[in-house]
Amino acid sequence: MEKLKVAVVGVGGHGRNRHLVPYLKVKNVEVVAVVDVKEEVAHKVGEEFGVRYYTDHLEMMDRETPDLVSVVTPTGLHYSVAKDILRKGAHVLVDKPVASSVEQVEDLERTSRETGRKVMVGYWSRFSPALSYASRLVREEVGEVYLITTYLVRRRGIPGIPTFLDKSLNGGRGALLDIGCYAIDNALSPLDFPSPLTVSGMIYTKFGNREEEVKLNWGSWDPRTFDLEDYAVGMVRFKDFMMSVEVGWAGNVSHQGEVGVVRILGERGGSEMRGDEAMNEVSFHGVLGGKVVDVRPQLKKVDLHQAIVEEFVSSVREGREPFPNLRQSLVLHSIIDGIYRSSQKGREVSLV
């Protein structure tokens, strides 16, 4: 079998550990290059893994002509770098969230169609066995869904590094884009992303702008210039059900660390998932033999980061549509953009 050539653009924490390292374990794939704008990072990772390194993704594309590229730069650069890569002729796996706005997702979809190159979106969380089981429960056991609740909150986890806090790097957005995307993705994937109709939402800055909070969170930043949302809520209306979204980088909550919960209530039963950004437990609640029961399946362990790069490689090799895809991200980003718009206008907004 012919080897596929792979490159990784952006080899900070996530790019090095969760893309590059997993690719090295995939059969019939050759990692040819890494790219990072910080020369010392590119050099260090290139040397460590014995691959060529660059500081410019366009130069890398011209010289190496990879078949597949992972984009793991800060979020605000995903769209432009991914678009360049499609135009240079490679398929691209873009880490989450794929872009910073609906318009950018639409443009990537157009560029993908024009170039005939695929875009896969890096929700490694989608490969969770708990999420797969919840999807099956929704298809077979839950009945007509009437309410979804999705929650992903860190007690204190404002990510104090420029990748997440500098507006030129993070897409100008805070917690709602950074981790809200997981909360919405985990909640809507069991229903295959139906179209939302309206949303009413609010974003808050309650922690990041306070000096005393800096030492309680991660990393460090200047609280005087912090103007991103660190908490957000939204109530989304679909044709047959409602979804509430609550996400935060920091909150005065009782749980430790980061907790994610997705509850899907249907006429015949409820599915509840728990975890963090990825769901790692699932339960079913309903009636069996005339009694109210709780069912907790045994799930196998999966290396989610390995699973996503393997799926990317297989989908390209087999000429299949990769999942997670841009159609799903269009729905997801329309909700995120809608919550920002609703918060600014102080009223419900249409998503149609």
Ligand X SMILES: NC(=O)c1ccc[n+]([C@@H]2O[C@H](COP(=O)([O-])OP(=O)(O)OC[C@H]3O[C@@H](n4cnc5c(N)ncnc54)[C@H](O)[C@@H]3O)[C@@H](O)[C@H]2O)c1
Q: How far is the CB of 189 from ligand X (least distance, A)?
A: 16
In 3D, which of 174, 176, 177, 180 has the Cα closest to residue 160?
174
**Contact window for ligand X (CB under 6 A) among 66-74, 85-93, 195-203, 216-224:** 66-74
Among 4, 7, 8, 9, binds ligand X (CB under 6 A): 9
Nearer of residues 10 and 196 to ligand X, judged by Cβ: 10
**Phi, psi values for residue 101, rounded to 5°:** -155, 165
Binding mask 137-166 for ligand X (x = CB under 6 A): ------------------------x-x---
R_g of the chain computed on alpha carbons: 20
Q: Which of residues 237-256 bind ligand X (CB under 6 A)?
A: none
Residue 121: left (phi > 0), alpha (psi -120 to 50), or beta? beta
* Contact window for ligand X (CB under 6 A) among 68-76, 133-141, 291-299, 317-325: 68-76
Q: How far apart are CA 229 and CA 205, in angstroms?
A: 5
Min dist. Cβ of residue 227 to ligand X (A): 19
Count, residues near ligand X per rule CB under 6 A: 23
**Can residue 36 be called a binding residue for ligand X (CB under 6 A)?**
yes
Binds ligand X (CB under 6 A): choice among 57, 83, 118, 154: 57
Asked if 46 and 52 touch (Cβ cutoff 8 Å), the reply is: yes
Which sign, positive or negative, has the C-alpha torsion 62, 68, 70, 76?
Answer: positive
Q: Is 193 left (phi over 0), alpha (psi -120 to 50) or beta?
A: left
Q: How far is the CB of 287 from ligand X (least distance, A)?
A: 38
Given strand 269-275, what is the order of strands in its sheet?
291-295, 279-288, 269-275, 258-266, 145-154, 242-248, 231-237, 198-204, 349-350
CB 230, min distance to ligand X, A: 16
Cβ proximity to ligand X: between 77 and 316 the closer is: 77
77 forms part of the interface with ligand X (CB under 6 A): yes
Angle at 329 between CA 327 and CA 330, to 5 degrees: 65
Selection from 348, 33, 28, 17 nearest residue 196 by Cα: 348
Tokens of 71: 């984009």
Residue 95: CB minimum distance to ligand X, A: 4
- Which residue in 70, 73, 104, 111 binds ligand X (CB under 6 A)? 73
Alpha-carbon distance of 120 to 98, in angstroms, equals 9
Q: Is the Cβ–Cβ distance between 231 and 250 less than 8 Å? A: yes
Residue closer to ligand X by CB (options 29, 82) is 82
Binding positions for ligand X, 257-296, rule CB under 6 A = none
Closest distance of CB 269 from ligand X, Å: 31
Q: How far is the CB of 16 from ligand X (least distance, A)?
A: 8
What are the residues binding ligand X (CB under 6 A)? 9-10, 12-15, 35-38, 41, 57, 72-75, 77, 81, 95-96, 161, 163, 178
